[in-house]
Amino acid sequence: MFEVLEVNHTNFYSFKKLLLPAHFKQLEKSENNILGVGAISHTEPVGLLLVNLETSSRVASIFHFVVNAENNEVDIIELLLDKVEELLEVGGFYITDLTLTINQSVEEVQKILLQRAWNTRSAITHKYVAKTQRIQDKDWASLFNRSDNLKVVRWSTTHEDDINQIILNNDPWFPPKFSPLNSSNFIDPEYSFALYDKEDLAGWIICEKVASNMLLCKNIYVRKSATTRLGGMLLIATLIRKIEDLNMFVTFLVEKNNIDMGNIVSRRFKDNIIRKDTLLKFVR
C-alpha cells in the first residue's frame, strides 16, 4: 500500500510538498549529516522525516516529520519510524528527540509514540498557515488607538534578557515548559516585537523569516490581565502592518494551553487560514 524509501539529493524533489524552504539547500548538498525517509502512495508523497546526524556523538534528531494523508496517518508514522530506526541502528546512532506534524489522530499518535518509549517534551502546539494577502479586516489599525498604557517596540537583546530573567524567577504568568532564549540568530528583529505595559514586559511575538515570502511566528504570548487584554491583538496587528504589502504567508505556532492567543489567531484569521496542523514534540 505504501512504498517507504530513503530520501536524498537525487530524489528529494519528489517530496517538495512536504518540505520547508530551508530543507532544499540542506538536501541539495548531499552531505552525510542529513538522513531522509519518505512514504509514497500511488506516486503521491504522504509522509517524510528528516534526521540531523551528529557523527561525533552518534546522536540523531528527527527535526522534520510530517504526514499528509486523509487516512492511515498512524500506519505511515509507524512505517517511517521503523525504517529510520533500522537505518540508524546500522549506523550506530541513537535518536534523542523528534518533532512531528500531523492534522488528525492526535491522541492515537501520542499513544503509539508512548508505547515506543517516547516521552512528551512540550505542550501540543497548533500550527496555522495564513495568507496575508487575503486579509481584508479594516479594524486592525483601530487597535493602535485603543492601547491605553500598552506599547509595542521592536525586538532587541534586552527583551531576550528580560524573558530569561522571568523564566529564572519562575514567574507564575509565564507559559509552562518554555525554554530560555539563547539563539538570537533564529529571532528576526525586523519581524519580532515586545509588548510593554508601562515599564513592565507584558508579552512578545517572536518571528523568523524563513523564505522571501514566508514568515514563521514561533511564539506569541501575552500576560493575562485587565490592562493587557488587547495585547495579543496589538502584537499581531503590528506584525500585519509590517508585512501587509509583502504578499507573505505566515505560520503561527500556538501552544494548545495558550488559549487566548489561539482564539485570536483562529478568529482573526478565520478567512485567511489555508492550513491547520498539530505539532507534537517528544524526547527519549
Q: What is the mean pLDDT of residues 51-64?
A: 94
Q: What is the pLDDT of residue 146?
A: 64
User: Of residues 180 and 257, which shows the higher confidence score?
Assistant: 257
**Could you tell me if 37 and 49 are in contact, meaning their C-beta atoms sit under 8 angstroms apart?**
yes
Average model confidence (pLDDT) for the chain?
85
Whether 278 has a pLDDT exceeding 80, the answer reads yes
**Could you tell me if 226 and 37 are in contact, meaning their C-beta atoms sit under 8 angstroms apart?**
no
CATH architecture for residues 130-276: 3-Layer(aba) Sandwich (3.40)
pLDDT tens digits along 266-277: 888 888 899 899
**Rounded to whole angstroms, how far apart are CA atoms 187 and 218?**
9
Whether 135 has a pLDDT exceeding 60, the answer reads no
Residue 172 is which amino acid?
Answer: P
Q: What is the pTM of this model?
A: 0.83
Q: What is the mean pLDDT of residues 122-131?
A: 87
Residue 34 is which amino acid?
Answer: I
What are 251's three cell numbers? Answer: 505560520
**In CATH terms, are 3-120 and 130-276 the same topology?**
yes
**What CATH code is assigned to 3-120?**
3.40.630.30
Q: What is the pLDDT of residue 226?
A: 67
**Could you tell me if 284 and 250 are in contact, meaning their C-beta atoms sit under 8 angstroms apart?**
no
Q: What is the mean pLDDT of residues 73-84?
A: 94
pLDDT tens digits along 161-170: 887 777 777 7
Q: What is the pLDDT of residue 172?
A: 66
pLDDT tens digits along 214-256: 899 988 888 877 677 788 888 988 888 888 767 788 999 998 8
Question: 49 falls in which pLDDT band (50, 70, 90)?
Answer: very high
Q: What is the pLDDT of residue 184?
A: 46
Question: 153 falls in which pLDDT band (50, 70, 90)?
Answer: very high
Q: Any idea where the domains of the chain sit in the sequence? A: 3-120, 130-276
Lowest pLDDT segment from 62-66, 67-71, 125-129, 153-157: 67-71
